[in-house]
Amino acid sequence: MTAQQATSVADGAEAGAGCDPATSVTKTLLAYGVIAGPIYVLVSVIEGLTREGFDFSRHAWSLLANGDFGWIHVADLVVTGLMTVAFAVGLGRALRPGLGATWAPRLVGAYGASMVAAGAFRADPALGFPTGTPAGAGEVSWHGTLHFVSGGIGFACLIVACFVMGARFGRDGRRGWAAFSRITGVLFFAGFAGIASGGGSVWINLAFTAAVVLVCAWISALAVHLYRRAAHS
């Protein structure tokens, strides 16, 4: 075989690998994880900046599901939740076999499903938002209760997923990724515990918002990492 023929065969093998259907499906599913978090954060921030009476220091993003334009936030939750579920399927394919290949996808998928449920069961108006709502916490309806329950379950699952992935990366010798995953889990737990305590202070609300942005960034970064690995495998 000549050098030219050998190069031709190698090029053909690389092209065939790039067109492998299973790899293509995995990459597509992982790509949803890349964009889900940024879309959720971007849409929520734009809503918060443009909705009359919304205050980032006082109001949780979930309150944006109320009012005339509440459907935008509902759609944001449902669409990005479904993207996260798709990413969870890709996560399972990318991690298999090995530590975390079963539970990490299940936990992330549960978080995605909880986002869909949180959109279906909107939070109750409170703290003066939308405009005209009494300044207090207000009454909690059945759909408001289900919103909190679904969110709590999803957040808990995502926290555990961070530690599962931390263990996986630690076993693989990727100390930076292991630390990133564990720190994200700790900070997100702290933010969730603070908001769940019902303290209602400005710093607790802002800390929780920062924790949400951090965990969305972690999911996107994880998806990018696994996407690149799948592309080069």
pLDDT-derived band of residue 131, with 50, 70 and 90 as boundaries? confident
Q: Which amino acid is at 165?
A: M
pLDDT score of 57 more than 70: yes
Q: With beta carbons less than 8 A apart as the criterion, state whether 215 and 232 touch.
A: no
State the residue for tokens 């109750």.
124
pLDDT tens column, 144-189: 999 999 999 999 999 999 999 999 999 999 999 999 999 999 999 9
Non-local (6+) Cβ contacts of 213 within 8 A are 41
Confidence category of residue 19, pLDDT binned at 50, 70, 90: low
